[in-house]
């Protein structure tokens, strides 16, 4: 796989409506996979069956668009022993509609895993720490 495959499209729907569509497993089954199980929270389980082959992984980010803020859904998936890749949906307001960016990034083995603060609450400082990926 190349380092990155990226597609962008303009949709005549609000970011909230696009978010509802891309997080609906029946919609994902209509174009991405025959079976979809996706826990919409950081660290959530991700499972897909694509062309009869199971891909498993985890959700990296699930940020609902709100008040002009972009929405983001990203997850890592892999099939068997193949390297994992990152799939990301980014939604941004565009006029009266939404600009949707879809990216699949290079394999996990080409990246380093580091600890980074995550949004949310937890611990005494209010930050949660977890994995983030950076280019090696």
**What does the pLDDT profile of the chain (136 residues) look like in tens digits?**
458 889 999 999 999 999 999 898 888 888 888 999 999 999 999 999 989 999 999 999 999 998 878 899 999 999 988 888 999 999 999 998 999 999 999 765 555 544 444 444 444 444 444 444 444 4
131 inside domain: no
Query: What is the predicted pLDDT for the residue at 69?
Result: 83
Show the domain range for 35.
4-107
118 inside domain: no
Could you tell me the CA-to-CA distances from 133 to 57, 70, 104, 110, 118 in Å, in that order? 14, 21, 14, 10, 12
φ, ψ for residue 109, nearest 5 deg: -65, -15
pTM, entire model:
0.74
87 inside domain: yes
Q: In total, how many domains does the chain have?
A: 1
What is the domain-level CATH number for residue 88?
Answer: 3.30.530.20
54 inside domain: yes
65 inside domain: yes
Do 19 and 28 touch, CB atoms closer than 8 A?
Answer: no
Query: What is the predicted pLDDT for the residue at 130?
Result: 44
């Amino acid at each position: 796989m190349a380092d990155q495959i990226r597609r962008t499209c303009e949709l005549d729907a609000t970011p909230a409506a696009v978010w509802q569509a891309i997080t609906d497993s029946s919609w994902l089954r209509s174009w991405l996979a025959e079976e979809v199980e996706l826990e919409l929270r950081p660290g959530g389980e991700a499972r897909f069956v694509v062309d009869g082959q199971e891909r498993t992984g985890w959700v990296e980010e699930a940020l609902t668009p709100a008040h002009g803020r972009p929405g983001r859904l990203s997850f890592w998936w892999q099939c068997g022993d193949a390297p994992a890749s990152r799939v990301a949906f980014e939604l941004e307001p565009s006029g009266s509609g939404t600009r949707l960016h879809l990216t699949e990034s290079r394999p996990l083995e080409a990246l380093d895993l580091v600890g980074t603060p995550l949004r949310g609450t937890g611990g005494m400082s209010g930050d949660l720490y977890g994995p983030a990926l950076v280019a090696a």
